[in-house]
Structure 1
Amino acid sequence: MIMTRHINKILLALSAALVALACLLLLPVMTPANAQLLPESRDDIQMSFAPLVREASPAVVNVYSERLVRQSANPYSGHPFFDRFFGPNSFGVPQERVESSLGSGVIVGEDGVIVTNNHVVQGADALRVVLSDRREFEAELVLADERTDLAVLRIDPEGEVLPTLQYADTRLVEVGDLVLAIGNPFGVGQTVTSGIVSATARTDVGISDYAFFIQTDAAINPGNSGGALIDNAGRLVGVNTAIFSRSGGSNGIGFAIPSEMVRRIVDSAINEGRVVRPWVGLRGQAVTAEIARSMELERPGGLLVTEIYPDGPADLAGLRRGDLLLKFDGRDVFDENGLRFLSATLAAGDSAPISILRNGEQRTLNMTVTAPPGATDAELILLEGENPLSGAEVANLSPALAEELRRDPFDEGVLVNRIVRRSYAYRSGVRPGDIVIEVNGQAITTVEELEEALNAEAEDGSKLRVWQIAVDRNGRRLSQSFRL
């Protein structure tokens, strides 16, 4: 009896051991792939971003800009009543003071090429760059691009090879990826914050003309502008540019310019000295839920082509009105801002595949982007003579000029760009931005036609003294008679 009891105990112990062994063997199979493993050693507990920061932070710099400001010694200077009777600089010589502002920058060229935000250096009379090891250099402004809010600086490291950050391929960046923001918030010194990519391709932020921002919840504050947003391999994902905040501090919504646009602006500055933005020559409409239903689409998406510029890149690629543009260079397109950004990351002459939907059939075309055609601001003409528009600076509207002046590239006619004070044009009431469309009943499409119409003779052969001029002002037709 006692022997049987001992045998049962031994069998029970062996059974328990076999069950435990089976559980250990089956644990890797039974554990979900996404299960969080607990740290098993002191080294696991002490894992950090320190090695990554140690490698990347030397390539992030502080950018100091200085601007000389003249200020009157008289506290009432600037008041219309006081200035009218005593003059703007009365009772004291204007005083000068230096305004300083602080931002961050990223070394992208080992010979001293640095990229930062345009708003960090805008209006500066002097620029100074401080490296992470506290060495200071005078900086030269190579290129400032207000449209993308990027600026390129250069310092002279006297032959020393500087640490740089390599560009990341932002096409591979996904929501949820870990990122670090490096900069100098509030001037307290170089600071690193961590977060994730909260969103990509933000086009409705309203910060710049080429909006396609990476959104992150890494803490970004004033002074971080121009600093680096890096991935877990230490590559430059973007340049920190702005935050969404009602208090001025970080609310966990920060925006960075993607590295592909940063690379394009830097290459333009170094190789060309200016930015030549390619264009695609089309106008489109974002697809709403209602449009998607009418087109029998499963969901809203893509850009509905509504207008195509003759002989432009879209026209030559074979696009038609009514096509649905789905992808450009492998990237989804949802609105015109996104398409403008994606095309601007290419150089004029580059080609990219585009995916479209036409009559329910998906097709792939190839588009070669080009510089917008037509006159630029270098071809502005100042009208002269005895006529109502004498003193007006005009030009033939073209996609190239529209790009420079931030106008609709599909506008046509003769644009009034500037008006000289105390001229006939100044007294006529015509304003900069008006488009001259008609003179004495004659349609005007070129500057040559405008000059001929203004200098034409009256029916009796005498010099013309009365003009009926029609202009387009913000989409409204305005007509007025002028007599000299």
Structure 2
Amino acid sequence: MNKKLSLLGAAVATSLLLTNPAPAEAKIPFFSGEQEIPTLAPMLEQTTPAIVHISVAGNREVRQRLPEAFRHFFGQRGSNEYKEERPFKGLGSGVIIDAEKGYIVTNNHVIQDADEIEVRLKDGRTFSAKKLGADPETDIALLQIEAKKLVQITLADSDKTRVGDFAVAIGNPFGLEQTVTSGIISALGRGGLGIEGFEDFIQTDAAINSGNSGGALVNLRGELIGINTAILGPNGGNIGIGFAIPANMMKNLVDQIIEHGEIRRGSLGIRGQDVTSDLTEAMNLKVSRGAFVNEVMPDSAAAEGGLESGDVIISMNGNKINSFLELRAKVGTLGAGREAKFGILREGKERTITVKLKEVSTSQVAASQMHPMLDGAELSNAEGGGVKIDSIANNTAAEQIGLQANDVIVGVNRQRIANLAELRKMLDNRSGVAALNIRRGNTNLYVLIR
């Protein structure tokens, strides 16, 4: 109730006292005793037992800068950094998705490097958890506990979530267990943030803070629509911009971990870009959003399924595709061997093509595993030596620093590299700025990363 409404209520009460000096009972004008006050309590009473508190402990490798004098004293050359292991503790949240089998989903960054994982339920029971698998590229991890009388959450079809839907975040911010905040869905399909390798986030203004990671974002039915994973805000504080991994994406990844014990990344085998106004005008397209196919790779899933260069992918499995980055995230997390139905626009006519996704080659990796500023690039070993950039996703760190598809990284800090393993080693041992020596056609250039 705002101040004006409060004053208005006081004036009404005063008027009643003047006309009737001895009222039996003062009534609140908004809700009578017979009216039910709107509340989320019944839903939360059913849902919150599925949200758990996670505490971890372990040892983590950290880099320390060696003072110049000691560097010479110990004979260190080339680098003024050294690595050491330090103990750490952390807190987070998790969601029970299978009560019978004791499966709990959380964020990979919550349990990464942990030697001990402890799960505490709402009823106070505590269990040691076993890590079944994880995917750092999407920040999803699957745990298991042996316990009875667990409560699992119901999964929503997150593809049916709409901007403006009410949302409730449940977790353990700053260790404050079973904290509930509410808001709305602010946006869908958020990507290009450089948070994860594959991004297709649900954005919400429900308050999310440190410790909410791995917790639940639910609708008003108490169904899981997302796993809270990150916020945008100064010093880690909430400013009403939070991000959750969609429940459907999470389920695809968890199913792969359960079935294979690992993530088998799906590959379509195309190079492309977002549909832009310039592209729409140049190609006379009838759509303003989607993923434009620049090139179809030979012997790829796309080639076998009938996709062609010049096609515009506008939907996947019945859900709209707004950008190439969104397509990349959905394909990469669906899993190898799965079929996907793509709605495409070809020469002004809509068609549907079914493609069986292949598995990403073991020699091809996401560049974000090498360095955050390479996020958005796909790398593979180049013929004749070096590391080839197979593709660059739009609005990513790799694009912003000037990298392009078909570039070949031939060296780092004037030292030649022959393959992905050498590139990873060079970047792991870097100190400060790293200069990538790029071969682009007949030209050599340098790109700096920090």
Does the alignment reach a TM-score above 0.5?
yes
> How far did 1:98 drift?
3.8
Provide closer, same or farther for how the CA distance between residues 134 and 194 of structure 1 changes in structure 2, counting only shifts above 3 A: same
Choose from 118, 127, 138 the match for 2:108. 118
* Structure 2 equivalent of residue 258 of structure 1: 246
* Aligned partner of 1:58 among 49, 54, 57: 49
Deviation at 1:114, TM superposition (A): 1.0
In angstroms, what is the RMSD of aligned CA positions? Answer: 3.5
Correspondences of 1:165-244 after superposition (within 5 Å)? 165-244=153-232
Aligned partner letter, 1:82: F
Structure 1 residue 145 corresponds to structure 2 residue 145: no
Asked whether the equivalents of residues 365 and 378 of structure 2 are also in contact (C-alpha less than 8 Å), the reply is no
C-alpha separation in 1, matches of 2:270 and 2:308: 10
SS at match of 1:179: strand
Which aligned pairs between 1:88-99 and structure 2 lie closer than 5 A?
98-99=87-88
Q: Distance in 2 between matches of 1:414 and 1:349?
A: 31
Name 2:16's counterpart in structure 1.
none
Q: Given the superposition, is the C-alpha separation of residues 132 and 477 from structure 1 closer, same or farther in structure 2, using an over 3 Å criterion?
A: farther
Structure whose residues are more often strand by fraction: 2
1:100 aligns with 2:89: yes
Map 1:127-142 to 2 at 5 A: 127-142=117-132
Opposite residue 270 of structure 1, the aligned amino acid is I
Unaligned runs of 5+ in 1: 1-37, 89-94, 377-397, 418-424, 437-470, 480-484
Question: 2 CA distance for matches of 1:87 and 1:127?
Answer: 39
CA contact (8 A) 1:147 1:209 kept: yes
Check the 8 A contact 1:102/1:187 in 2, yes or no.
yes
Return the alpha-carbon distance in structure 2 between the equivalents of residues 473 and 433 of structure 1: 14
Give 1:323 shift: 1.4
SS in 1 for 2:154: coil
What's the secondary structure of 1:293's corresponding residue?
helix
> Shift of the alpha carbon at 1:287?
1.2
- SS of residue matched to 2:183: strand
CA distance in 2, matches of 1:184, 1:260: 23
In the TM superposition, residue 121 of structure 1 has moved relative to its aligned partner by 1.2
Counterpart of 1:188, as a letter, is L
Aligned residues: 368
Query: Could you say if the C-alpha distance between residues 404 and 186 of structure 1 is closer, same or farther in structure 2, counting changes exceeding 3 Å?
Result: closer
> Aligned runs of 1:381-392 on 2, under 5 Å?
none
Contact 2:155–2:223 (CA under 8 A) maintained in structure 1: yes
Asked whether the 8 Å contact 2:54–2:91 carries over to 1, the reply is yes
Larger Rg: 1
* Distance in structure 2 (CA, Å) of the matches to 1:434 and 1:171: 36
TM-score with structure 2 setting the length: 0.73
Counterpart of 1:431 in structure 2 is 417
Find the counterpart in structure 1 of residue 144 from structure 2: 154
Return the offset for 1:414.
Answer: 5.3
Kindly provide the amino acid, as one letter, of the partner of residue 116 in structure 1: T
Asked whether the equivalents of residues 197 and 366 of structure 2 are also in contact (C-alpha less than 8 Å), the reply is: no
Deviation at 1:156, TM superposition (A): 1.8
Provide Cα deviations, 1:317-353, integer angstroms capped at 9, x if missing partner: 1111111111111122232221122223433222222
> Offset of 1:215 from its aligned partner?
0.5
**Alpha-carbon separation, structure 2, partners of 1:114 and 1:434:** 34
In structure 2, do the counterparts of structure 1 residues 181 and 415 end up closer, same or farther at CA, with 3 Å as the change threshold?
Answer: farther
Distance 1:106 1:228 in 2: 6
Matches within 5 A, 1:410-429: 412-413=382-383, 429=415
Is 1:48 the counterpart of 2:31? The answer is no
**Is 1:408 the counterpart of 2:378 in the alignment?**
yes
Whichever residue aligns with residue 47 of structure 2, its letter is: A
CA displacement at 1:119 relative to structure 2: 1.0
- The one of 272, 275, 297 aligned to 1:287: 275
Q: Secondary structure at the match of 1:125?
A: strand
Q: Encode CA deviations 1:440-483: one digit per residue, 9 max, x unaligned.
A: xxxxxxxxxxxxxxxxxxxxxxxxxxxxxxx984647799xxxx
Structure 1 counterpart of 2:128, which letter?
E
Structure 1 residue aligned with 2:340, among 334, 352, 357?
352
Counterparts of 1:415 and 1:162 in 2: how far apart (Å)?
54
For residues 323 and 402 of structure 1, the distance between their equivalents in structure 2, rounded to whole angstroms, comes to: 26
Letter in 1 for 2:44: V
Q: Quick one: distance in 2 between partners of 1:434 and 1:234? A: 45
- Cα contact 2:292–2:324 (8 A) shared by 1: no
Shift in Å at residue 177 of structure 1?
Answer: 0.8
Distance 1:476 1:147 in 2: 30
Structure 1 pair 97–291 and aligned structure 2 pair: CA distance change class (3 A):
closer
What SS does the corresponding residue of 2:289 show, helix, strand or coil? Answer: coil
Q: Which AA in structure 2 matches 1:348?
A: A
What are the superposed Cα offsets for residues 177-211 of structure 1, whole Å, 9 maximum, x if unpaired?
A: 11110001111222000111111111222211110
Unaligned runs of 5+ in 2: 1-28, 77-83, 388-410, 423-435, 445-450
What is the deviation of 1:43?
A: 5.7
Aligned residue type for 1:107: I
TM-superposed CA distance for 1:251, in Å, is 0.5
